[in-house]
Amino acid sequence: METKAFQKIYTKVTQITKATCTLQASGIGYEEMATVNGRLAQVVKINGDNVTLQIFSGTEGIPTNAEVVFLGRPPVLKVGEELAGRFFNAYGQPIDGGPEVEGEEREIGGPSVNPVRRKQPSELIATGIAGIDLNNTLVTGQKIPFFADPDQPFNQVMAMVALRAKADKIILGGMGLTNDDYLYYKNVFDNAGALDRIISFVNTTENPPVERLLVPDMALTAAEYFAFDKKETVLVLLTDMTLYADALSIVSNRMDQIPSKDSMPGSLYSDLAKIYEKAVQFPEGGSITIIAVTTLSSGDITHAIPDNTGYITEGQLFLRRDSDIGKVIVDPFRSLSRLKQLVIGKQTRKDHPQVMNAAVRLYADASNAKTKLENGFDLTDYDVRTMNFAREYSNDLLAIDVNIDTTMMLDKAWELFGKHFSKAEVGIKQEFVDLYWPV
Amino acid sequence: MEKNKLTTGKVAGIIANLVIVDVDGPVSQNEICYINLGGVKLMAEVIKVLGSKAYTQVFESTRGLKIGESVDFMGHMLEVTLGPGILSRNFDGLQNDLDKMEGTFLKRGEYTAPINVDQEWPFSPLAKAGDQVLAGDWLGEVKENWIGHKIMVPFKFEGKYTVKSVKAEGIYKASDTIAVLTDKDGREVNVSMVQKWPVKVPIKAYTDKPRPFRLMETGVRIIDTMNPIVEGGTGFVPGPFGSGKTVLQHALSKQAEADLIIVAACGERANEVVEIFTEFPELDDPRTGRKLMERTTIIANTSNMPVAAREASVYTAMTLGEYYRSMGLKVLLLADSTSRWAQALREMSNRMEELPGPDAFPMDLPAIISSFYARAGYVYLNNGSTGSITFIGTVSPAGGNLKEPVTESTKKAARCFFALSQQRADSKRYPAVDPIDSYSKYLEYPELQEYLAENISPDWLQNVLETKNLLLRGKEAYEQINILGDDGVPIDYHLRYWKSEVIDFVILQQDAFDKIDASTPIERQKDMLGKVLEVCHTGFDFDGFEEVNPYFKRLINVFKQMNYSLYQSGDFKKYEAELDAIIKERKAA
Ligand SMILES: Nc1ncnc2c1ncn2[C@@H]1O[C@H](COP(=O)(O)OP(=O)(O)OP(=O)(O)O)[C@@H](O)[C@H]1O
Ligand SMILES: [Mg+2]
């Protein structure tokens, strides 16, 4: 932290709460950074001479005569090619033992892209996972979270997707990551020989939770540097956004704001949107794709965090353990990629949209049949066939361990249609049935 | 509101985008001011006054703002600029022309002119010297894209004026004086093609606002056939995330029988706006043969843009709609999502520590929503012509639960309810409009009933009501089957259920991404409903319930192929014949 020549030191704190302290000061800018006895803090309220600072690591042990120094700038990150391969904490300070990055200082949480300067996303991201590529195709410039219970292997799936996605840079924003998961990511990227493409900003469970609030903006400022300045394809992984939102609610509750649903701040939607909307396809070629994790508590998507997220992101991917096949699958009912129609049937085979929909419809029929069975009713022949289909569909296509290309996925789906159903039952446009129905 | 000397002030407090200003003179509620931030001017609006303190909501980020910075009050409320050149533009919520902004990233304090006042337009007069005129009366006309853009007596003019002179046919700049009027005291006023109007005040330059009665065709079957919207009507589309609100609105904006479409992207995704201005310039408007973008104007205040401007954006959009309605045009106004606007109100109200209403929304939310919807409508203008604003907003209920303040308030204000159901979306029955819960109050209007009888067919209403009834009976049968088991109910229950499935698959479900199926003209809707009802009226012979399902699956499949084929094409007729053959197979003697 550089100190300016005549930096004024304040030593008279007038009020201390769990998250904030207030003092009299003048000439202070809103959202300016400061240190309070060396701890980083940010201006969150100014009322006349009274300046309220949010101290990221908490106010425990802060005395009324603490030394407060204002840094004269909002939070910044130094950007440059040297960011590549490096690991930082939430403040953008190296935690890998390497040197400070030299580069241009950029304010984090900067302005939005003018919507008319965006390009419509159009590049398919192939992951090999049929639950994604077939049913929920991803596109560069998209923002999409995994919705998963904490015991699902979302970090593994996300690392797999990241490595297969052919991105120029992968930026990991870890919030409340356990040390084990942090090391897991590090190992996987290392083993794949990808470390030089990775940049990490990590807040682990060992760090104060409020510091997390800086992580997404740090990660996305780095992302904008590579995607906009360097025109690279950037993939940003944010895990776990639920812990980020929890930190927001800690701060707003401590500041006595009126909570809205699920004790989240009323501004949760805007707060999350500011992060996710950084996903962008630039016309000049660079792009930022955001894949996030939002952990659920026992599958409840009506909770304010997943609910607001779903309203912002371009779909969501649900992981679920399918007890019939004993594997984790990408749930075809609740998962959705909103941008898939920009590429499916265009960059993939023409029958893709219809095959995808037909398979999911038949899978839904199977789940109705299953309910019937559970309620003790006899199954019709059709019911039995849908259930057989569902089992194979789940195992051969939905399971996350599948790794094939999209054309093979489509062929596999036709094979299953032909095996279990008549043409009329599948209900696909005649021209495709004529072309692909297995004989 | 005009003041001789404009009030100034100094920043006294900052909490996010709520800035408290010490003022040295009079200020009005909703007055616009500019806050100085190191040479950059941040636009803000007064939302509360307490003694000499004005509480303002800033339409930009306040990062770096300091106490004591100077503030200039403008003496007017938030206004839009009205004149030729609005069509096909991409504005932000404050009517800045986004295309005129420099750079890739939005810079705060950058405000761009909504229209180019130096642009020249071929003008022809509609009024002549000696005419008595009122605000909103037409003085002349210029061609804007394909519409006759009326140059009107400014809406701010009160009382009667006499036309002293109107420019002859010719090319004039938007800022040129095109007419001189004299007021009742003989004072002369110059009128150009450009005027301003405060967005929060409805434009009332009309003589009468009757109940709307003309069907507005949208090409969406579940709307036109089942729950019709009318010219000048209101409707709303609540639905959990991912249920298809935006896809439905985009379909309406492409297909609806309107002269002009104004899309307010209010606190939603930027990529959805990009989709419109990427695709619409390529797509044809079947009514005019021109490009769709020529009739479309976008007000984009996406979710990452300043929250306060989000609230302004819906008012900006409505005011532009009222302006074009006063020209005798049919305007369709779409807002996605009105919940984001309500949330912007909530954020501000919380920051001001107002007493919260349900779910921490402001207490007066229902009143705000209902007076907004009330601005839509079908009107008779002073000269006897008609114009309309049809307004359809989406609502994004928290947790998908319709018992929340925004949905409930909107339900009281809007006359059509297109409820999107999670369950239908999950099973990909798009558009996921719930056929049982949704309604159009207009179907109960004798005015519309008469219109439908005349323009579609005398028995149309009866057929629609019967279809609704069949759907309900099908649902009941389905529930019985689920309780009692397939073989625990008479075959008739299966038939009833499957007939309702035919209605569902053939009429209700519609593929918004299929070139042909996406839009169905009313003539074709009538034909298909007739065909479907024919099936529903047919008695079928089956030996066991097991035969019912495969039979109807076949039937539905052929129906769907018809929906995918060009109307009355060879394929269409081939499938129709196939259908008749299938019906015959099982028709009861
Ligand atoms: N009529 C339709 N035909 C085919 N697919 C549809 C249709 N309507 C919706 N969908 C599918 O559902 C997805 C979500 O739709 P949409 O974006 O309109 O949801 P939404 O209700 O606006 O969600 P949000 O509240 O999050 O904005 C689309 O991307 C598309 O895949
Ligand atoms: Mg939407």
Question: pLDDT class for B3, splitting at 50, 70, 90?
Answer: very low
What spacing in Å lies between the alpha carbon of A413 and ligand 2's midpoint? 30
Last-in-domain residue among A335, A362, A391: A335
Does A309 share its domain with A389? no
Question: pLDDT class for A333, splitting at 50, 70, 90?
Answer: confident
What spacing in Å lies between the alpha carbon of B565 and ligand 2's midpoint? 29
Q: What average pLDDT does this structure show over B433-455?
A: 97
Of all helices (H) and strands (E), which one includes residue B40?
A: strand B40-50
Based on its alpha-carbon atoms, the radius of gyration of chain A, rounded to whole angstroms, reads: 25
Question: For residue B68, which of A118, A107, A49, A83 has the smallest C-alpha distance?
Answer: A49
DSSP letter for A273, please: H
Does A80 share its domain with A193? yes
- How is residue B316 written in tokens? 């900006």
Give the number of other Cβ atoms within 10 Å of residue B273's Cβ. 23
Last-in-domain residue among A303, A335, A367: A335
Residues B416, B422, B425: CA angle, nearest 5 degrees: 95
Residues of A in contact with B108 (CB under 8 A): 111
Does A236 share its domain with A150? yes
For residues A162 and A361, what is the distance between their CA atoms, to the nearest angstrom?
30
Say which residues have a Cβ less than 8 Å from residue A349's Cβ, sequence separation at least 6. Answer: A406, A407, A410
What spacing in Å lies between the alpha carbon of B427 and ligand 2's midpoint? 18
* Size (chain B), residues: 589
- CB-nearest to A277 from B64, B270, B557 is B270
Mean pLDDT, chain A, whole residue set: 93
Question: pLDDT class for B492, splitting at 50, 70, 90?
Answer: very high
pLDDT at A259 over 90: no
- How is residue B349 written in tokens? 């109200």
Does A224 share its domain with A134? yes
CA dihedral A413, A414, A417, A419 (to 10 degrees): -110
Does A44 share its domain with A125? no
- How is residue A330 written in tokens? 């990408």
Ligand 1: residues within 6 Å at CB?
Answer: A 310-311, 336, 338, 341; B 239, 241-247, 268, 396, 430-431, 511-513
Residue A436, CB-side half-sphere exposure with 13 Å CA sphere: 24
For residues B585 and B329, what is the distance between their CA atoms, to the nearest angstrom?
52
Contacts by residues A378-382 (CB-CB < 8 Å, ≥ 24 positions apart): A378/B485, A378/B486, A378/B487, A380/B486, A380/B546, A380/B549, A381/B546, A382/A425, A382/B549, A382/B550
For residues A375 and A368, what is the distance between their CA atoms, to the nearest angstrom?
11
Torsions phi, psi of A99, nearest 5?
-75, 165
CATH for A45: 2.40.30.20
Does A365 share its domain with A283? no
For the CA of B510, the closest atom of ligand 1 is 1
Residues of A in contact with B426 (CB under 8 A): 333-334, 364
Q: What share of chain A is helix, strand, coil (3-state, %, to 5)?
A: 35, 25, 40
- CB-nearest to A270 from B274, B307, B399 is B307
- CB-nearest to B64 from A31, A277, A364 is A31
* DSSP per residue, A330-379: E-TTT-EETTGGGTTTTTS-TTHHHHHHHHHHHHHHHHHHHHHHHTTPPP
Residues of B in contact with A370 (CB under 8 A): none
For residues B166 and B139, what is the distance between their CA atoms, to the nearest angstrom?
7
Is A127 in contact with B122 (CB distance < 8 Å)? no
Q: Mutation test of ligand 1: which of B218, B223, B237, B247 has the most ligand atoms closer than 8 Å to its C-beta?
A: B247
Is B376 in contact with B330 (CB distance < 8 Å)? no
Packing angle of the helix pair B522-537, B491-503 (nearest 10 deg): 170
Whether residue A380 and residue B360 make contact (CB cut-off 8 A), yes or no, is: no
Based on its alpha-carbon atoms, the radius of gyration of chain B, rounded to whole angstroms, reads: 27
Does A214 share its domain with A100? yes
- How is residue A242 written in tokens? 């639920």
Does A297 share its domain with A359? no
For residues A127 and B238, what is the distance between their CA atoms, to the nearest angstrom?
34
Does A287 share its domain with A251? yes
Whether residue B15 and residue A274 make contact (CB cut-off 8 A), yes or no, is: no
- How is residue A416 written in tokens? 């299953």
Residues of A in contact with B63 (CB under 8 A): 29-31, 74, 107
Does residue A305 belong to any structural domain of this protein? yes
Does residue A342 belong to any structural domain of this protein? no
Does A323 share its domain with A226? yes
Whether residue B304 and residue A121 make contact (CB cut-off 8 A), yes or no, is: no
For residues A82 and A84, what is the distance between their CA atoms, to the nearest angstrom?
5
- Of A185-194, B256-265, B279-288, where does mean pLDDT reach its minimum? B279-288
pLDDT at B113 over 70: yes
Is B196 in contact with B160 (CB distance < 8 Å)? no
CA distances from B370 to A294, B106, B307, B376, B413 (A): 36, 33, 21, 11, 5
> pLDDT for B471-486, tens place per residue?
999 999 999 998 898 8
For residues B341 and B322, what is the distance between their CA atoms, to the nearest angstrom?
20
Residue written as tokens 């991105």?
Answer: A167
Whether residue A258 and residue B99 make contact (CB cut-off 8 A), yes or no, is: no
Compare all CA atoms of chain A with the CA of B395 and give the residue at the minimum distance.
A311
CA of A327, closest CA in chain B: separation in Å?
22
Is A44 in contact with A267 (CB distance < 8 Å)? no
Question: pLDDT class for B5, splitting at 50, 70, 90?
Answer: confident
pLDDT at A4 (0 to 100)? 54
Q: Is A2 exposed, middle or buried (0-12, 13-18, 19+ CB in 10 A)?
A: exposed
Question: For residue B220, which of B455, B448, B430 has the smallest C-alpha distance?
Answer: B430
Instruction: Indicate the pairing of strand A143-148 with strand A315-322.
Output: parallel
pLDDT at A258 (0 to 100)? 78
**Domains delineated in chain B:** 8-77 (2.40.10.170), 114-194 (2.40.50.100), 221-451 (3.40.50.300), 460-586 (1.10.1140.10)
Beta bridge partners of B123: B142, B170
Does residue A343 belong to any structural domain of this protein? no
pLDDT at B170 (0 to 100)? 97
pLDDT at A5 over 70: no
Residues B151, B154, B157: CA angle, nearest 5 degrees: 150
> pLDDT for B163-219, tens place per residue?
999 999 999 999 999 999 999 999 999 999 999 999 999 999 999 999 999 999 999
pLDDT at B349 (0 to 100)? 87
CA of A96, closest CA in chain B: separation in Å?
31
Beta bridge partners of A54: A20, A42
What is the number of domains present in chain A?
A: 3
Does residue A183 belong to any structural domain of this protein? yes
pLDDT at A1 over 50: no
> pLDDT for B81-95, tens place per residue?
999 999 999 999 999
pLDDT at B406 over 50: yes
Q: Residue B374: helix, strand or coil by DSSP?
A: coil
Does residue A81 belong to any structural domain of this protein? yes
For residues B362 and B76, what is the distance between their CA atoms, to the nearest angstrom?
25
CATH for A130: 3.40.50.12240
Does A177 share its domain with A103? yes
Q: Is B449 exposed, middle or buried (0-12, 13-18, 19+ CB in 10 A)?
A: middle
> pLDDT for B117-156, tens place per residue?
999 999 999 999 999 999 999 999 999 988 999 999 999 9
pLDDT at A375 (0 to 100)? 87
Does A245 share its domain with A376? no
pLDDT at B4 (0 to 100)? 64
pLDDT at B146 (0 to 100)? 87
Largest separation between any pair of C-alpha atoms in chain B: 91
CA of A160, closest CA in chain B: separation in Å?
26
Question: For residue A268, which of A239, A245, A250, A241 has the smallest C-alpha distance?
Answer: A245
Where does B396-429 show beta strands of DSSP type E? 416-417
- CB-nearest to B549 from A228, A375, A382 is A382
pLDDT at A434 over 60: yes
> pLDDT for A294-317, tens place per residue?
999 888 989 999 999 999 999 999
Instruction: Indicate the pairing of strand A287-295 with strand A169-177.
Output: unpaired
What spacing in Å lies between the alpha carbon of B244 and ligand 1's midpoint? 3
pLDDT at A6 (0 to 100)? 61
Last-in-domain residue among A17, A40, A70: A70
pLDDT at A252 over 90: no
pLDDT at A424 (0 to 100)? 86
Domain with A18 in it = 9-70
Q: What average pLDDT does this structure show over A83-96?
A: 95
Does residue A3 belong to any structural domain of this protein? no
pLDDT at A80 (0 to 100)? 96
For residues B319 and B303, what is the distance between their CA atoms, to the nearest angstrom?
21
Torsions phi, psi of A68, nearest 5?
-110, 125
pLDDT at B287 over 90: no
For residues B266 and B203, what is the distance between their CA atoms, to the nearest angstrom?
22
Instruction: Indicate the pairing of strand A68-70 with strand A33-36.
Output: antiparallel
CA distances from B361 to A259, B264, B349, B364, B365 (A): 11, 22, 8, 8, 7
CA of A46, closest CA in chain B: separation in Å?
5
Question: Does the bond joining B457 to the residue before it have cis omega, within 30 degrees of 0?
Answer: no
Is B285 in contact with B357 (CB distance < 8 Å)? no
Tell how far CA A408 is from the center of its chain: 28
* DSSP per residue, A380-426: PHHHHHHHHHHHHHIIIIIBTT----HHHHHHHHHHHHHHH--HHHH
Whether residue B99 and residue A116 make contact (CB cut-off 8 A), yes or no, is: yes
Question: pLDDT class for B1, splitting at 50, 70, 90?
Answer: very low
> pLDDT for B407-437, tens place per residue?
999 999 999 999 999 999 888 899 999 999 9
* DSSP per residue, A4-34: -TT--EE--EEEE-SSEEEEE-SSPPTT-EE
Mean pLDDT, chain B, whole residue set: 95
Is A221 in contact with A108 (CB distance < 8 Å)? yes
